[in-house]
Amino acid sequence: MSSLKGVSAVLALLVLGLFAYGCGGDDGATQEQLDAAKAEGAKEARQQARLNQLQGQVKQLQKQSKQSSNGNSGKTGGQGDGYYQDAGSDGGPVSTCATGVQVGPNTSCSFAMNVAGEYGSNPGASTISAYSPVTGEYYTMSCGSWSGGGTVCTGGNGAAVYMP
């Protein structure tokens, strides 16, 4: 009977030893894997921060659009249609929207951001078409460099959008 207890004790110790070996094995992540995961987490954090910043700008533009009293943004007709005008002759920007985009009189920030987006999709274009959320219409804008540096797109009824 005592030999069975001895065998049982040896088997128990052997099982515990194997269990301990399996738990303490080298199956953990390498330092390289940990560094890569850390870098990926930091990248995702930067992307989330940028997304939050852009969402804040959208909310700000929506608020400005609702409060805007200058609903003539990009209105067709008049001398502004398809006519390039240098900043020196119209006085330049009168207010700033977001990310360096500025507007002249008769231009809403919501329209200006659409102009900037279209121009950004077609860098160097001399003519673009952009949608005005204020009027619900598309307008042709003529773009070129301006004396203040950067690009200005003009059109509609005196609308002007200044971009860095």
pTM of this structure: 0.47
All structural domains of the chain with their residue ranges: 94-163
Candidate ranges 15-24, 59-68, 73-82; pick with highest mean pLDDT:
59-68
**What are the CA-CA distances from residue 97 to residues 42, 94, 164 (Å)?**
29, 10, 12
DSSP state of 127: E
Which three-class secondary structure state does DSSP give residue 12? helix
pLDDT value at residue 98: 82
Question: What is the model's pLDDT at position 35?
Answer: 87
Enter the tokens of residue 81.
């249609």
